């Protein structure tokens, strides 16, 4: 990973600045300034100090006061994307700046407009080209949601603009409790409830008795993420304001309520069984059965039946990251989705009494302004682990807290809530705050890189004050995506011979529909806030993104098999972030993510529409691999439900990734046999491009694939030799690059040795 930028206390390289008109001074503008770093005078130890001195030298003679409005103001310094800084300057100061040593160029900053469910834009979905118009936005594709239920009154399930329900639909809208059949429509075309297993097991999950109504919000959130209709003017208490819509906004939703906060596998099996019968095209399962064998996993078993019928099944990877071998649903015939971050940063702005300012993370759900409030920095208070001590020392003040001890990682606001402080500034490197935490008190989080300027100001100033303004946002933060810290990692302990997760999709701070009876946020220790839309994080949120993409691909390519759709998603996924460097891992100190963290990479819907080549497979192919993995006849029968399958042809699976798993044997060579199908141009050829895992040698035969017609199949062999490998894990990739064309078919390679 490249060197982290030095940004003093101002900001981080992962933020692409968004200028808010509240902070643009009269007759001043914000400029991005490029500097020649090699021209930095030797008197300065770091470039930030040089930039700050440059700005301070620009004070125009004749100003009538030393106030914020009459001074140039440094906002951020940069050292990766550019060498330079951004600053609020008058035109005369800009002219003077051009005479400064090392000046290269300057230009005005741009205002960035925000969207709500921003993930469609982040995934490059648009109305002009790509998979949205090609699929007519998922029109008539039916997504069966296995979840906690649905809140039919949500505007995300209105049927404005929807055509009549497809004739193929065989489902019903089940009445029960306060849910009646008239609550379904042309968007929410079906709803059923399955609770018998949970009742028999005495499971205490939030459920409406015998009703598909959502009691905890999870199902409403996931289903609106996958296929919610357009809803204007929504937000999470002012954050993420805009128009909400799902990934496949013209697809249909059928809800199968199979759990509360917990559920029974039997109920899930019943729901999936019925969904197949009802005629769904895609099944979305934001649930996990734990790391259990395939032949005991209800999702795996029901998923095999769905796959046989041509139904695509998307599942979550689990939220047990960043620990290895924690992935759930590591099933060869299902898509397993990990979670990633997006480029929207919910923020507050912190302005010191000396006029310096910075952004930090916050989701305090009030459009508040704490203006010129006394701030205290006391080393005995830094842990913020005693409400009594905070009240005694910092009543009515803003307190600075640090989580160097790790305490705040799990107790970010408890002591602040129960003290008499006015607010808090948390200093933390943990990405968990931005990914999974909330802030029910006036507080914000800045990084240790940002903190020295704050601390220097507070400790060197008599009666220091700060101003904090909430409900601000920055769009375009970098790097994004990153693998979410909580996203479960591979390999799968239940099926390690196939690389899992398959890919990642947006899962952190996803805004989608919510239910009015479940809290959306908290204000203080005892005020519960409700909202029709809320921000949630988890691989539960990533899964419906992939489900929506699958619906779009199914709508554009009705004849594609589930394996073909999964292959298209995987081989076109991006392993590069918006900063043009490899995707980073929030769970591993921002090191570059490996395929065991992110699979093939971030899902790219538009590229998946035209993958060039696909790795296809049918039910017999999966059985052949079960035989290859020495599953017994009984175990296979448990999964397949049919004796028509046999083990006469044990074989490797035609999967779009390569997992060379050496399980404590004397073998040093792993061989793969793969077949690709041409879904691109009639006549084309592809040349192999290898990134060989460190310590291994790889042979691909042949190294060129030639096609003379569409849907033609061509096979190749891959041999991985680990005789020289001295590590337990190593990573690479195999890419088929179209000769004279635009298709790039990328597959990750993982070499994994058990000891």
Read off the tokens for 492.
């799968």
- Residue 486 C-alpha from the chain's centroid: 11
Active-site position among 86, 115, 135, 147: 147
Q: Give the CA angle between residues 530, 283, 224 to the nearest 5°.
A: 25
Q: Give the CA angle between residues 612, 614, 619 to the nearest 5°.
A: 160
Of the candidates 489, 694, 493, 502, the residue with the CA atom closest to the CA atom of residue 586: 489
Of the candidates 596, 598, 588, 573, the residue with the CA atom closest to the CA atom of residue 752: 596
Which residues on neighbouring strands pair with residue 377, listed in sequence order? none
Active-site position among 86, 532, 540, 657: 540
Of the candidates 558, 582, 398, the residue with the CA atom closest to the CA atom of residue 480: 582
Of the candidates 113, 107, 103, the residue with the CA atom closest to the CA atom of residue 89: 107
**Sign of the CA dihedral running 289, 292, 298, 304:** positive
Is residue 322 reached through a cis peptide bond, with omega within 30 degrees of 0 on the bond before it? yes
Cα 234 to Cα 156: distance, rounded to the nearest angstrom: 11
CB 349 within 8 A of CB 357: yes
Q: Is 147 a catalytic residue?
A: yes
DSSP string, 230-290: PEEEEEETTEEEEEE--SSTTSEEEEEE-BSSSB-HHHHHHHHHHHHHHT-SEEEE-----
- For residue 111, report the phi and psi dihedrals to the nearest 5 degrees: -85, 130
Q: Is 540 a catalytic residue?
A: yes
Active-site position among 47, 118, 218, 625: 218
Beta strands in 36-90 (DSSP E): 73-78, 84-89
Strands 658-663, 744-754: pairing is parallel
In which element (H, E) is residue 191 found? strand 188-193
Q: Is 616 a catalytic residue?
A: no
Cite the active site residues. Answer: 147, 218, 540
């Amino acid at each position: 990973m490249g060197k982290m930028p030095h940004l003093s206390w101002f900001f981080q390289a992962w933020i692409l600045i968004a200028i808010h008109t509240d902070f643009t001074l009269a007759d001043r503008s914000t400029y991005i300034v490029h500097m020649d770093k090699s021209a930095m005078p030797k008197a300065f130890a770091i470039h930030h100090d040089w930039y700050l001195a440059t700005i301070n030298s620009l004070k125009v003679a004749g100003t009538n006061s030393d106030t914020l409005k009459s001074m140039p103001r440094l906002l951020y310094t940069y050292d990766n994307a550019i060498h330079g800084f951004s600053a609020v300057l008058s035109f005369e100061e800009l002219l003077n700046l051009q005479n400064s040593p090392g000046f290269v160029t300057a230009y005005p900053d741009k205002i960035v407009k925000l969207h709500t469910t921003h993930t469609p834009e982040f995934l490059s979905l648009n109305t002009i080209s790509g998979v949205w118009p090609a699929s007519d936005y998922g029109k008539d594709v039916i997504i069966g949601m296995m979840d906690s239920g649905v809140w039919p009154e949500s505007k995300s399930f209105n049927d404005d603009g929807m055509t009549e329900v497809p004739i193929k639909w065989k489902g019903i809208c089940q009445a029960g409790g306060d849910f009646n059949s008239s609550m379904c429509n042309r968007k929410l075309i079906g709803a059923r409830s399955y609770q018998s297993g949970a009742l028999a097991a005495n499971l205490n999950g939030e459920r409406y008795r015998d009703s598909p109504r959502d009691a905890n919000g999870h199902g409403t959130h996931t289903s609106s993420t996958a296929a919610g209709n357009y809803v204007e003017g929504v937000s999470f208490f002012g954050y993420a304001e805009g128009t909400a819509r799902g990934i496949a906004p013209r697809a249909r939703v059928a809800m199968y309520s199979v759990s509360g906060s917990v559920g029974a596998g039997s109920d899930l099996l019943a729901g999936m069984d019925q969904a197949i019968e009802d005629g769904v095209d895609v099944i979305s399962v934001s649930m996990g059965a734990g790391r259990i064998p395939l032949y005991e996993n209800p999702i795996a078993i029901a998923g095999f039946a769905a796959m046989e019928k041509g139904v695509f099944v998307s599942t979550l990877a689990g939220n047990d990251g960043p620990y290895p071998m924690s992935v759930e649903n590591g099933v060869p015939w299902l898509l397993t989705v990990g979670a990633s971050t997006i480029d929207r940063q919910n923020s507050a702005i912190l302005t010191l009494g000396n006029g310096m300012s910075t952004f930090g993370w916050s989701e305090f759900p009030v459009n508040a302004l704490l203006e010129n409030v006394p701030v205290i920095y006391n080393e005995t208070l830094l842990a913020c682990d005693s409400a009594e001590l905070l009240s005694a020392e910092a009543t009515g003040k803003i307190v600075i807290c640090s989580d160097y001890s790790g305490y705040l990682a799990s107790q970010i606001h408890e002591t602040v809530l129960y003290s008499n402080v006015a607010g808090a500034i948390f200093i933390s490197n943990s990405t968990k705050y931005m990914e999974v935490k909330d802030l029910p008190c006036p507080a914000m989080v800045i990084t240790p890189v940002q903190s020295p300027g704050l601390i220097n100001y507070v400790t060197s100033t008599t009666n220091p004050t700060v101003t904090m303004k909430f409900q601000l946002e920055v769009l375009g933060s970098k790097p994004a995506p990153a693998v979410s810290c909580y996203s479960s990692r591979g390999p799968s302990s239940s099926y390690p011979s196939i690389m899992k997760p398959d890919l990642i999709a947006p899962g952190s701070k996803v805004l989608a529909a919510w239910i009015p009876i479940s809290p959306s946020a908290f204000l203080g220790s005892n005020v519960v806030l409700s909202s029709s839309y809320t921000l949630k994080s988890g691989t539960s949120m990533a899964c419906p993104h992939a489900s929506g993409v699958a619906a779009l691909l199914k709508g554009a390519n009705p004849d594609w098999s589930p394996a073909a759709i999964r292959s298209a998603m995987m081989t076109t996924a991006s392993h590069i972030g918006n900063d043009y460097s490899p995707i980073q891992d929030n769970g591993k100190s921002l090191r570059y993510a490996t395929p065991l963290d992110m699979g093939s990479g971030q899902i790219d819907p538009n590229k998946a529409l035209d993958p060039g080549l696909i790795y296809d497979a049918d039910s017999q192919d999966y059985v052949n691999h079960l035989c290859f993995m020495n599953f017994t006849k009984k175990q296979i029968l448990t999964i397949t439900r049919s004796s028509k399958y046999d083990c006469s042809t044990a074989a490797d699976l035609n999967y779009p990734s390569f997992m060379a798993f050496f399980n404590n044997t004397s073998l040093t060579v792993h061989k793969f046999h793969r077949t690709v199908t041409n879904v691109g141009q009639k006549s084309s050829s592809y040349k192999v491009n290898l990134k060989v895992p460190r310590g291994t040698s790889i042979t691909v035969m042949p190294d060129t694939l030639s096609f003379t017609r569409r849907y033609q199949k061509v096979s190749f062999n891959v041999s991985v030799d680990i005789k020289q490998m001295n590590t337990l894990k190593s990573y690479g990739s195999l890419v088929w690059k179209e000769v004279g064309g635009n298709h790039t078919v990328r597959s990750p390679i993982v070499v994994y040795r058990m000891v």
